[in-house]
Amino acid sequence: MELELGLGLPNQSSSSSGHVMVKGLQLDLNSSSSTTYQNNLPRFLYRDVCSDHDHQEEVESKDLSLLLWSGQPNQEDDDPPPHKWTNLLHLNDDVQMNDDEEDTEIVGWPPINSVRKELLHRNQQQRRQRVINIIPGARNNINKSMYVKVKMEGVPIGRKIDLSLYHSYLSLTHAFIHMFSKYTAYKEENRDGGEYRILYQDKDGDWMLAGDVPWERFVESVRRVEIILRKDN
Amino acid sequence: MDPDTKKCKESKPHSSNSNGSKCSHLKFPDEALEKVLSFIDSHKDRNTVSLVCKEWYNAERWTRSNLFIGNCYSVSPEIVSRRFPRIKSVRIKGKPRFSDFNMLPRDWGANVHAWLVMFAEVYPFLEELRLKRMTVNDESLELLAKSFTGFKALSLLSCDGFTDDGLKFVATHCRNLTELDIQDSVAVDVGGDWLTCFPENFSSLEILNFASLNSEVNFESLEKLVNRCKNTLRVLKVNESITLDQLQRLLVHAPNLVELGTGSFMQELTPRQYEDVGSAFSNCGKLRVLSGLWDATDLHFSVLYGACARLTFLNFSEAVLQSGELAKLLAHCPNLRRLWVIDTVQDKGLEAVGSSCPLLEELRVFPLDPYDLDHQHGVTEQGLLAVSLGCPKLHYLLYFCRRMTNAAVIAAVKNCPNFTHFRLCIMNPGQPDHLTKSPMDAAFAAVVKTCPKLRRLSVSGLLTDKTFESIGEYAKNLETLSVAFAGSSDKAMVCVLRGCPKLRKLEIRDCPFGNAALLSGVEKYEMMRSLWMSACDVTMKGCRMLAREMPRLNVEVIEDEGSDDGAKAGKVYVYRTVAGPRRDAPPFVLTL
């Protein structure tokens, strides 16, 4: 199952079919019309826009900001990829959303110009393809896409990457850096001088270290990729 | 002072104090007055001048050449054309800001075409057009390109509606073009062929920015264009399709660049090629602003070192950097005044900012992953504190974080009391102080009390009415206020409306403010540019009352949930206007 989720941002059409849910501090979760407040403590409104997600494209893009899941680390493969998130607002740490609670999404929050970012990156795959093509020496096998699974140690959800888009170990490494930047970018503190190693399983089923054979040979024999963190001891 | 004017003043007899003309002591001949007024550029000053008396009003309108319209629906093309006969440059803003965040349906409006039709007829000598958040279709660009022979500068900021066909008209027909600046515009289907449409002898370009257009362009045409314009080009911002070695060739042709937006850094180059790129950067002695930098990592930074010491603005908002990488680069950039980064640099990266950039005036920290619920990533109150300690000149802050404390904000504004723009976005709505779990009221109270020059404020986190009482009381220079998921009652909004004397734009979403709050501002809204309220407790009844009270306001409800009085008004947009209700309103916009 391919997990790339390009988030379709809430449909811009005028009919937002949601109803507004109001939650007071008592967490009367099923109340949809009450407007009572507690003693100067604020409350929030969530607009339910479940219905309008129709973009689920493959976006092999460094901009994983649009990738959402419900925070459950071990998704079963056959669950439909979730594209809403459960709001885990904690007011006093003892107020939590029910799991049964309808998933809600806040339109237009945080106030980021995601629309433009998403549109820019939507075509990034095609553009990268074109860029690779004009670099001298790049392989011209655009029509033969070569998807392999990529798993990074410590990351629960794997990715798939189309190797035909890349022409060298360096460009592939760059792609991995960006694909997993969400995880690696923040792990610098934990790295303790360790390095990420790229391993791959070849067509004989053996696990090998990437980089030894010429790029073309690598691409022909690779079946899946795993990225591990190896600490220098 | 103009000698003509002086002479006239002296030669006029000192008329006796009659109760007639207010200007009896100031009777300049029209030509002299007009000459004096032609030196006044600021539209605010000009608006004031025009209020003095009828003669000054007339002199002013004949001499105004720069037109600024802050809200395209506050006035109509007809009214403008009647008042100002000689306009050379126009700046118009369209949609309310929340349209950037998907909060306005498509086809809401702010189409520039009607304006262009009027300009073509009344201002054939128009030279500059700068639009923000407007819809610009290809036919409008065609009209523009073909109507104004002396047209020089087109700037489209956050605009939508055009394709490369429209840009082709501009490139082909605007022979005197000096500026083509497209920023943050939503232009999905814009191909790159327009660049080939500049004529062979065209060489006057000073500003070219197509960084936000995502299609590949013909590099050969671009290279030739840059070469032809090498003497005039000072701003060049290319898009992600341009590679490093292509960039190097462009830089060689344009060593006088002041602002550069690079393409993508993701490319495998030989050491010799890296050297060439590095020297190209070093040779750009006037380079002060650097942006783009897609996919840049510290593998590439060495090519930038030659230019870093002179940089005043570094925009890394497209580069995913870690703290060490940022620190390494910033060590070479002691003269930075403005820095934009992604929050992957974390607090440690911001500490490096504090220690390397003492002259910093503006910092923007964007979230890599705005929707991520994991609370551990990004920047926190520590980063804010670190920057404030090292950068006492900081006056502009945009900070997205998932954790903040009152103490840190209080300390930060103490270190940097000169804030003019304080935009703090704690990304989880209604989140309290991370340490004390109390509301963030004390933080924003400190901001408004400590920073008398504050003009723009965005609040976030768990906030009670107290925050807004403070804002109303202390924020005397506040012009723009953005509020979301905050406040406890109508009192909050009332305090702001009663308090902030210079308030011009108020945008509110998801707050418990109802009709009483809305109506408390009845006398204020005409002194403001606009009010936005969405997902609050305002009903149709309240909106109707406001509309009835104030005929010179447009009270528009977008996507109402029913039209009876008790129905909630989902999105309300209120603005002053002399043009009456919109004539181009789509069916989902209801003007009351």
A99-138 confidence digits (pLDDT tens):
333 345 678 888 988 655 565 454 444 444 444 444 444 4
- The answer on pLDDT for B484 being more than 90 is yes
Please tell me what DSSP assigns to residue A103.
P
Per the CB < 8 A criterion, the answer to whether A7 and A68 are in contact is: yes
Per the CB < 8 A criterion, the answer to whether A181 and A175 are in contact is: no
Average pLDDT over residues B392-402: 97
Mutation target to probe the A interface, by most A beta carbons within 10 A, among B481, B488, B510 is B510
The answer to whether position A199 is within a domain reads yes
Region of B184 (left: φ > 0; alpha: ψ -120 to 50; beta: rest) is left
CA torsion A203→A62→A3→B373, rounded to 10°?
140
The answer to whether position A183 is within a domain reads yes
DSSP character string of B422-461: EEEEESSTT---TTT---SHHHHHHHHHH-TT--EEE--S
Bridging pattern class, strands B313-315 and B289-291:
parallel
Average pLDDT along chain B: 91
- The answer on pLDDT for A3 being more than 80 is no
Per the CB < 8 A criterion, the answer to whether A2 and A78 are in contact is: no
pLDDT for residue A66: 33
B102, B243, B463 member nearest A135 (Cβ):
B243
Query: Of A91-95, A100-104, A182-186, B194-198, which range is least confident?
Result: A91-95
CB contact under 8 Å between B266 and A120, yes or no, is: no
CB contact under 8 Å between B101 and A109, yes or no, is: yes
- The answer on pLDDT for A225 being more than 80 is yes
Task: Kindly report the nearest CA distance between residue A103 and chain B, in angstroms.
Answer: 14
Tokens of A67: 């990738």
pLDDT for residue A167: 75
pLDDT for residue A217: 87
Mutation target to probe the B interface, by most B beta carbons within 10 A, among A188, A189, A191, A196 is A188
Q: Hey, is A215 helix, strand or coil?
A: helix
A211 or B229, which is more confident:
B229
pLDDT for residue B191: 79
d(CA B497, CA B40): 32
The answer to whether position A204 is within a domain reads yes
d(CA B297, CA B319): 7
A127, A168, A185 member nearest B240 (Cβ):
A127
Mutation target to probe the B interface, by most B beta carbons within 10 A, among A9, A72, A120 is A120
Beta-strand runs (E) in B220-337: 235-237, 259-261, 289-291, 313-315
The answer to whether position A25 is within a domain reads no
d(CA B419, CA B241): 38
H helix or E strand, kind and range, residue B573: strand B571-576
Q: Which residues contact B272 (CB under 8 A, 6 or more apart)?
A: none
pLDDT for residue B271: 86
pLDDT for residue B28: 67
A35, A85, A89 member nearest B537 (Cβ):
A35
A15-42 pLDDT, tens digit each = 333 333 333 333 333 333 333 333 333 3
CB contact under 8 Å between A110 and B188, yes or no, is: no
pLDDT for residue B338: 98
The answer to whether position A27 is within a domain reads no
pLDDT for residue B567: 87
Percent of chain B with pLDDT over 90: 74
B370, B374, B463 member nearest A114 (Cβ):
B370
CB contact under 8 Å between B370 and A88, yes or no, is: no
pLDDT for residue A107: 82
Give Cα separations from A129 to A123, A133, A148 (angstroms).
10, 6, 17
Task: Please indicate if any CB of chain B lies within 8 Å of the CB of A174.
Answer: yes
CB contact under 8 Å between B485 and A44, yes or no, is: yes
Residue B332 φ then ψ, to 5°: -95, 0
pLDDT for residue A49: 28
d(CA B310, CA B267): 26
Average pLDDT over residues B14-21: 45
Enter the pTM of the model.
0.75
pLDDT for residue A162: 84
Q: Hey, is A228 helix, strand or coil?
A: strand
B136-185 pLDDT, tens digit each = 999 999 999 999 999 999 999 999 999 999 999 999 999 999 999 999 87
Looking up residue A157, the CATH number of its domain turns out to be 3.10.20.90
Query: Of A219-233, B156-170, B472-486, which range is least confident?
Result: A219-233
Give Cα separations from A150 to A128, A200, B151 (angstroms).
19, 9, 53
Give Cα separations from B196 to B36, B165, B171, B291, B566 (angstroms).
45, 12, 8, 24, 58
pLDDT for residue B20: 46
A68, A113, A127 member nearest B216 (Cβ):
A127
Per the CB < 8 A criterion, the answer to whether A147 and A45 are in contact is: no
Set of chain B residues whose Cβ sits within 8 Å of the Cβ of A45: 485, 510, 535
Mutation target to probe the B interface, by most B beta carbons within 10 A, among A16, A114, A186 is A186
d(CA B216, CA B192): 5
Give Cα separations from B197 to B160, B179, B428 (angstroms).
21, 15, 48
Alpha helices in B41-105 (DSSP H): 43-49, 54-63, 77-83
CA torsion A151→A157→A163→A164, rounded to 10°?
170
- Structural domains of chain B in order of their starting residue, each with its CATH number: 1-64 (1.20.1280.50), 66-183 (3.80.10.10), 514-592 (no CATH)
Task: Kindly report the nearest CA distance between residue A65 and chain B, in angstroms.
Answer: 4
Tokens of A112: 């980021």
pLDDT for residue A140: 43
Q: Identify which of B507, B496, B565, B568 has the alpha carbon closest to the alpha carbon of residue B533.
A: B507
Average pLDDT over residues B401-426: 97
Percent of chain B with pLDDT over 70: 93
- Residue A231's pLDDT band, with cuts at 50, 70 and 90, is low
- The answer on pLDDT for A70 being more than 80 is no
Per the CB < 8 A criterion, the answer to whether B342 and B368 are in contact is: yes
- Residue B9's pLDDT band, with cuts at 50, 70 and 90, is very low
Task: Please indicate if any CB of chain B lies within 8 Å of the CB of A110.
Answer: yes
Domain that includes residue A152, residue range: 144-229
Average pLDDT along chain A: 55
The answer to whether position A137 is within a domain reads no
Chain A to chain B, count of Cβ pairs less than 8 Å apart? 176
d(CA A154, CA A173): 18
Sign of the torsion angle spanned by Cα atoms B472, B473, B477, B482: negative
Give Cα separations from B543 to B118, B179, B526, B546, B585 (angstroms).
33, 43, 15, 5, 17
Alpha carbon of residue B383 to chain centroid: 25
Residues in chain A, how many? 233
B48 or B6, which is more confident:
B48
A20, A110, A168 member nearest B370 (Cβ):
A110
Crossing angle between the packed helical segments B406-415 and B381-390, to the nearest 10 degrees: 10
Q: Identify which of B501, B506, B497 has the alpha carbon closest to the alpha carbon of residue B575.
A: B506
Task: Kindly report the nearest CA distance between residue B140 and chain A, in angstroms.
Answer: 22
pLDDT for residue B266: 80
- Residue B460, classified by CB atoms within 10 Å of its CB into exposed (0-12), middle (13-18) or buried (19+), is buried
B295, B323, B509 member nearest A178 (Cβ):
B295
A:46-105 residues touching chain B, CB 8 A cutoff: 47, 62, 64-68, 71, 85, 88-89, 91-93
- The answer on pLDDT for B387 being more than 70 is yes
pLDDT for residue A117: 58
| Angle at the Cα of B159 from the Cα atoms of B337 and B96, rounded to 5 degrees | 85
- The answer on pLDDT for B212 being more than 60 is yes
Q: Is the peptide bond before A110 cis (omega within 30 degrees of 0)?
A: yes
Beta bridge partners of B236: B208, B260
CB contact under 8 Å between B295 and A174, yes or no, is: yes
Nearest CA in chain A to B103: A108
d(CA A89, CA B13): 76
Please tell me what DSSP assigns to residue B580.
-
Q: Hey, is B342 helix, strand or coil?
A: strand
CB contact under 8 Å between B535 and A45, yes or no, is: yes
Quote the number of domains for chain A. Answer: 1
The answer to whether position A48 is within a domain reads no
d(CA A31, CA A26): 11
A:124-163 residues touching chain B, CB 8 A cutoff: 124, 127, 130-131, 134-135
Per the CB < 8 A criterion, the answer to whether B464 and B439 are in contact is: yes
HSE of A221, CA atoms in CB hemisphere, 13 A: 20
What is the per-residue burial (b if ≥16 Cβ within 10 Å, else e) of A137-147?
Answer: ebbeeeeeeee
DSSP character string of B195-252: GGGS-TT-----EEE-TT--S---HHHHHHHHHHTTTT--EEE--TTS-HHHHHHHHH
The answer to whether position A88 is within a domain reads no
> Is the complex ipTM higher than 0.85?
no
| Angle at the Cα of A121 from the Cα atoms of A119 and A127, rounded to 5 degrees | 115
- The answer on pLDDT for B187 being more than 80 is no
d(CA B590, CA B291): 42
Residue with tokens 């520039």: B112
Set of chain A residues whose Cβ sits within 8 Å of the Cβ of B320: 62, 178, 181, 185
Alpha carbon of residue A86 to chain centroid: 16
Residue type, B31: E
Tokens of A199: 């391993």
pLDDT for residue B482: 98
pLDDT for residue A33: 34
- The answer on pLDDT for B360 being more than 60 is yes
Residue with tokens 């509110």: B508
A167-223 pLDDT, tens digit each = 788 778 878 877 887 776 655 544 455 577 889 998 888 999 998 888 888 988 999
Query: Of A84-88, B36-40, B340-344, B358-362, which range is least confident?
Result: A84-88
d(CA B266, CA B175): 35
pLDDT for residue A68: 30
